[in-house]
Structures are given as structure tokens and as C-alpha cells.
């Protein structure tokens, strides 16, 4: 899963999806639930509002909504059809249905096992390495399906684009036939702009995006910050609108796309120029994230922001070298930002990253770049991205 539509923060949605499968294979609503989650899953679920939950947070909420009201066929949009009446039912169920939480000791950062019981029947659903990557379903001790059975086995190879270089990504984005990707990019534009506008029009979180527009001038840089942040305001605040995600993250999907879209509007870029800049931005983020892994302690929005810096540089007719400089400058400046979980402050981090990305793009357009030895910067952009090299 690299770029797909998802409703709400992807970690609670993953738990809700697994829980909906528990119900499917139990053929009954569970009487009790056990959620075993890796530490990074706990980190990313504990403070974020579960989408379509009426403002509720936490693993038990995600489990119960998924198990009792979710649609497993919709995967990352498993909670898209939740009604207000079902939210009220969920609120009543929370004290009635036992839902235990255990830390899952695992080498995989993205790893959950949801177990549900109904009378004498027990079903366990295990997801690992990808938000919908079901690796095992066990009913009453019998393995119903494993990763080999391809129940939902979309390979989650985090290094599927290893071996390429940033220069090859730039060349591909400039010159390839992108027509087969137009529908995907159009969805990214439509849905990510839609949730950004929702965040600007209505109160979510601490209203980072709205505050930027109210307190700053109407420059493209400030609009880029505001739109990206407001999309996160809404998403982290439980908004029920979908987002085109990048590398399994909605916040990264917003950061990688909205600044490029705003600058394309400002520059009156052609449709082709906008598509190619979005392609470049998305691919650079995917390339960088492939070396970091899922649910890292490193904030993935930094990767997305460096992609946006490159996309904006392409829109402004920057050279291949200037695109590389944009990436190096952004990574070298934002390298210390950690991920401390999904929550309202992600919107502020996004605004900070977009601000820095635009500055680093402007520095690159002057042909200035951080030098090897400046912090994490190594002998080339690829060596900087690949931490074991250079």
C-alpha cells in the first residue's frame, strides 16, 4: 500500500479493520475483545480521535466500532458508514463489552492481533507490516488463512523501490508517460483539497491551518502551510472525509500534495506540470520512507515535506540539481523531528515542515546547498537518504 484512500488516522482504522474481520469470522458480535498491539501502534492510537466516533479516542473505541459496526470489505474506509445512532450504541457498549489491551512484543513496528470471543468460539486476526496486511486468521485453533492464502495479502515490501536513485525519480517524473496515474493523482487533488477546506471551515483540534490564514498574509507559502495543516486538523480531529495517503500516512499524504497543489495554482501551471510535480513529490517521499520503515520514531512528514520542496522546485522550472538541493536542504534542516504519536499537534508539525520546505526550496533556487558533514548530510542526496551509506 503506497497511495490509497483512507478514512481517518490509519492506525486506529487498522485496528477497526482487524476487529471487523473478527466479527466476520465469528459470525457474531464478540462478547469480549483483546487487542495486542506493538508499541508504535499504541503510540499512534492513544491520543488521536477515531474517525466517525463522535470525538472518542483510544484502542477500545476502534475495536468496538470495527467489531460491531464496521464493514470489513471497505478496508481503510471500514468506518465510513457509521451512523450517529451507532456512535451512541458504541458509547453504551464501552462499559459493557470487556476490551483488554496488551503490549505485543514484536520486531515489527506495525503489528496487531485482535482476538474476539463469542460463547465457545474464538477468532484472532493478525495484521503486520501494513495497515491492511492480514497475515493470519485463526478460529478455534484452526488456521483459516495465512499470508500465503492471499485473503488480503497485498505485499508490503518496504524496500520495493530500493536500488533506484533520486536522479532516476526526477527523470521519470519529468519525462515518463504518466497517463495511467491521472485518476490516482486527480483523487489526491480532489480529496486532499476537500478535507483541507473542511479543516478551514470548521473547528478541529487547535485550528492550526485556520490560525495561519487569519494571522498571516495571503502568500502561497502561507496558503500551502495553512491548507496542509488544516487537512491534518480535520483528520486528527476525527473528520469522516477520506484522504489520499502516502506511505501509509494521511498526514504525509496531505504534506506531500497540498503545498504542490497550492503552488501550481499560484504559478498558473499547466495540468501536466501539476501532475508531474505531484508525481515527483509522492515518489520522493516513498523513496525516503522506504529506508525508514513504517511507524518509525522519525517523523515521516519530514520526508513528505522534502518531496513537496522538490515538487515546487520542478514547478518553478528548477534544474535537476536544484531539485536535489531542495531535498538535501530540507532533510538537513528538519532531521531532528521525532514522531510522538498521532494527535492534534501533528498539524503544527506539518506547518513547520512546509514552512521549512519552502525556505529550503528558495535556498536551492539560489544554487545553495548544505554540504557533506553538515549534520546528517552526506556525500550525495542518495547517501543522505540511505543512512548506512556515504
Q: What are the boundaries of each domain within the chain?
A: 8-149, 166-385
25, 36 contact by CB (below 8 A): no
Separation between Cα atoms, residue 310 and residue 143, nearest integer Å: 47
pLDDT at 114 over 70: yes
E strand map for the chain? 5-7, 32-37, 99-103, 111-118, 121-128, 134-139, 142-146, 242-244
Separation between Cα atoms, residue 278 and residue 188, nearest integer Å: 9
pLDDT at 158 over 60: no
The DSSP code for 374 is S
Instruction: Name residues whose C-beta falls within 8 Å of residue 342's C-beta, 6 or more positions apart in sequence.
Output: 9, 11, 44, 45, 47, 48, 236, 251
pLDDT at 151 over 60: no
Q: Beta strands 121-128 and 134-139: pairing type?
A: antiparallel
64, 53 contact by CB (below 8 A): no
% of residues, the chain, pLDDT over 70: 95
The DSSP-derived string for 165-210 is -HHHHHHHHHHS--GGGHHHHHHHHHHHHHHHHHHHHS--TT-HHH
Separation between Cα atoms, residue 135 and residue 117, nearest integer Å: 20
**In angstroms, what is the C-alpha Rg of the chain?**
21
The per-type count for the chain, helices as H runs and strands as E runs, is 14, 8
Mapped onto helix, strand or coil, the DSSP state of residue 295 is coil
343, 251 contact by CB (below 8 A): no
pLDDT at 260 over 70: yes
pLDDT band for position 312 (50/70/90)? very high
pLDDT band for position 147 (50/70/90)? low
Separation between Cα atoms, residue 347 and residue 201, nearest integer Å: 15
pLDDT at 145 over 90: no
- Looking at the domain 8-149, which fold is it? 60s Ribosomal Protein L30; Chain: A; (3.30.1330)
Separation between Cα atoms, residue 364 and residue 354, nearest integer Å: 15
Take residue 118 and report the three cell numbers written for it.
463469542
Sign of dihedral through CA atoms 378, 379, 380, 385?
negative
pLDDT at 386 over 90: no
pLDDT at 208 over 50: yes
% of residues, the chain, pLDDT over 90: 86
CB atoms within 10 A of CB 273: 15
377, 371 contact by CB (below 8 A): yes
238, 45 contact by CB (below 8 A): no
Mean per-residue pLDDT, 359-380: 97
Look-up of cell digits 497543489: 261
Instruction: Name residues whose C-beta falls within 8 Å of residue 336's C-beta, 6 or more positions apart in sequence.
Output: none
314, 173 contact by CB (below 8 A): yes
Helix, strand, coil % over all residues of the chain, rounded to 5 = 50, 15, 35
Q: What are phi and psi of 330, to 5 degrees?
A: -65, -50
Separation between Cα atoms, residue 137 and residue 58, nearest integer Å: 24
45, 103 contact by CB (below 8 A): no
pLDDT at 153: 46
pLDDT at 8: 80
**Closest to 57 measured CA to CA, from 349, 343, 350, 348:** 343
Mean per-residue pLDDT, 221-238: 97
pLDDT at 170: 98
Mapped onto helix, strand or coil, the DSSP state of residue 299 is coil
| pLDDT tens readout for residues 32-86 | 999 999 999 999 999 999 999 999 999 999 999 999 999 999 999 999 999 999 9
More confident residue, 6 or 332: 332
Q: What average pLDDT does the structure give for the chain? A: 93
Element (DSSP H or E) covering residue 365: helix 346-365
pLDDT band for position 160 (50/70/90)? low
pLDDT at 149 over 80: no
Look-up of cell digits 492510537: 45
pLDDT at 162: 64
Task: Indicate whether this model's pTM tops 0.85.
Answer: yes
Amino acid at each position: 500500500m503506497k497511495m490509497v484512500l483512507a478514512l481517518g488516522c490509519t492506525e486506529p482504522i487498522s485496528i477497526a479493520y482487524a476487529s471487523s474481520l473478527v466479527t466476520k469470522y465469528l459470525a457474531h458480535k464478540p462478547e469480549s475483545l483483546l487487542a495486542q498491539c506493538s508499541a508504535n501502534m499504541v503510540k499512534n492510537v492513544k491520543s488521536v480521535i477515531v474517525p466517525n466516533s463522535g470525538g472518542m479516542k483510544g484502542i477500545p473505541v476502534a475495536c468496538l466500532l470495527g467489531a460491531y459496526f464496521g464493514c470489513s470489505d471497505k478496508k481503510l474506509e471500514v468506518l465510513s458508514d457509521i451512523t450517529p445512532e451507532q456512535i451512541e450504541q458504541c458509547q453504551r457498549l464501552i462499559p459493557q463489552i470487556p476490551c483488554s489491551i496488551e503490549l505485543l512484543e514484536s520486531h515489527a513496528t506495525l503489528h496487531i492481533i485482535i482476538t474476539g470471543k463469542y460463547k465457545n468460539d474464538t477468532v484472532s486476526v493478525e495484521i503486520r507490516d501494513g495497515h491492511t496486511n492480514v497475515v493470519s486468521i485463526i478460529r478455534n485453533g484452526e488456521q483459516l488463512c495465512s499470508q500465503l492464502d492471499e485473503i488480503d495479502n497485498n505485499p508490503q515490501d518496504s524496500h520495493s523501490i530500493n536500488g533506484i536513485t533520486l536522479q532516476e525519480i526526477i527523470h521519470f517524473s519529468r519525462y515518463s508517460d504518466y497517463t495511467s496515474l491521472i485518476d490516482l493523482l486527480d483523487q489526491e487533488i480532489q480529496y486532499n483539497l476537500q478535507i483541507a477546506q473542511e479543516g478551514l471551515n470548521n473547528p478541529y483540534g487547535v485550528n492550526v491551518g485556520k490560525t495561519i490564514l487569519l494571522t498571516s498574509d495571503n502568500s502561497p507559502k502561507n496558503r500551502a502551510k495553512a491548507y496542509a495543516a488544516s487537512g491534518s486538523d480535520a483528520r486528527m480531529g476525527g473528520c469522516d472525509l477520506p484522504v489520499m495517503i502516502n506511505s501509509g500516512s494521511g498526514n504525509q499524504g496531505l504534506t506531500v500534495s497540498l503545498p504542490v497543489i497550492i503552488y501550481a495554482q499560484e504559478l498558473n501551471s499547466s495540468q501536466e506540470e501539476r501532475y508531474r510535480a505531484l508525481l515527483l513529490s509522492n515518489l520522493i517521499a516513498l523513496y525516503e520512507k522506504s529506508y525508514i520503515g513504517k511507524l518509525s520514531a522519525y517523523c515521516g512528514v519530514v520526508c513528505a515535506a522534502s518531496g513537496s520542496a522538490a515538487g515546487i522546485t520542478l514547478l518553478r522550472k528548477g534544474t535537476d540539481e536544484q531539485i536535489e538541493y531542495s531535498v538535501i536542504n530540507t532533510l538537513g534542516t528538519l532531521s531532528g523531528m521525532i514522531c510522538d504519536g498521532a494527535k492534534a499537534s501533528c498539524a503544527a508539525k506539518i506547518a513547520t515542515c512546509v514552512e521549512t520546505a519552502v525556505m529550503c526550496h528558495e535556498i536551492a533556487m539560489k544554487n545553495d546547498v548544505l554540504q557533506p558533514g553538515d549534520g546528517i548530510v552526506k556525500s550525495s542526496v542518495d547517501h543522505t537518504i540511505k543512512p548506512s551509506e556515504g
